[in-house]
Structure 1
Amino acid sequence: MSTEVMRDASVVVARDEQGLVALLSADFPNHGGEFLFLPGGRREYGEDPLECARRELREEAGVTAERWHPLGAFAITLGSTARVHLFEAHDLTLGAQELTETEEDFKLTWWPMDDAVQAAREGRFLLPAGPLALFLADHPTSENQANTR
């Protein structure tokens, strides 16, 4: 088992007032081409999961949000204590992406939720957190709807 300390991460389903979802895409040649993903990434030291989600959404999508719903969290691997925290964001304000050098090819598009969920079912996402967050956001519970920040 690796001694590397893995940091928690956050992933965001950002939905605009028409119900469209912010999706990013990029080419991952080592994995066979272009894949979709949701805004998200690893927590910076001292950040809580929501702060991470807010930062990643702003940086990768250029979006800020007024309302947030936690969707849950899960372990990244069995051999790590790191978790991925899933959020849904509403009441969005659009701005410019703040991409780093490694993110400069990220393309932002807005998809109907049904199409985003279908893309997840078709295997068009490289990592599992995006599809899980989409499935959870597409089937809200009264508890998730009550936990707005």
Structure 2
Amino acid sequence: MSEMPGDRPTRDASVVVARDANGFVALLSAMFPRHGGEHLFLPGGRREDGETPEECARRELKEEAGITAARWRPLGTYAITLATTARVHLYEARDPTVGPQQLTPTEQDFKLSWWPMADALEAAVQGRFLLPAGPLALLLADRTG
């Protein structure tokens, strides 16, 4: 894809819906004062050089939530904004194993909790998520899984 004038190339990102055997999903929460307080989000982040989208998803899930998973399924790839060529890759991770989070200094207040899918979707409807990829990934995982 060629870049249009004004496009700002950035790195792709990956976002993960991690589900346990009971269908509960791993959600992170943190305070974002610039954006009005505490928000929910799914584990995810920008791809590092040389990483595939799935490798990025696996790394981010382990770092931010302390979770590794036995089964992975892609949910789709979408443009992040019209102003960039970057894409967000959505995944579902099943059969999780939970270990310690590996948070960076800017992530130290990330709190992990497990929610029933219906409650996570309701939180998305209520606007409790900061970024749109999380609600989209939850909807896709719920509808196709």
- Indicate the TM-score class for this superposition, using the shorter chain for normalisation: over 0.9
How far did residue 91 of structure 1 move? 1.1
Q: Give secondary structure in 2 for the equivalent of 1:139.
A: helix
How far did residue 5 of structure 1 move? 2.9
Letter matched to residue 78 of structure 2: F
Q: Provide, for residues 58-91 of structure 1, a one-character-per-residue CA deviation record: whole Å limited to 9, x for no partner.
A: 0000000110010001001112110000000001
Extract structure 1 runs of 4+ deviating beyond 2 A: 1-5
Residue segments in structure 2 that go unaligned for 5+ positions in a row: none
Partner of residue 18 from structure 1, selected from 6, 10, 22: 22
Identity between Structure 1 and Structure 2 (%): 71
Taking structure 1 as the reference length, the TM-score comes to: 0.92
State the distance in 2 between where 1:59 and 1:83 align: 21
State the distance in 2 between where 1:5 and 1:89 align: 28
Q: Give secondary structure in 2 for the equivalent of 1:46.
A: coil
How far did residue 18 of structure 1 move? 1.0
State the distance in 2 between where 1:131 and 1:27 align: 18
State the distance in 2 between where 1:28 and 1:14 align: 23
After TM superposition, the structure 1 = structure 2 runs for residues 1-149 of structure 1, keeping only pairs within 5 Å, are: 4-140=8-144
Residue segments in structure 1 that go unaligned for 5+ positions in a row: none
State the distance in 2 between where 1:99 and 1:16 align: 22
State the distance in 1 between where 2:111 and 2:90 align: 21
Number of corresponding residues: 141
Say what the alpha-carbon RMSD is for the aligned residues: 1.2
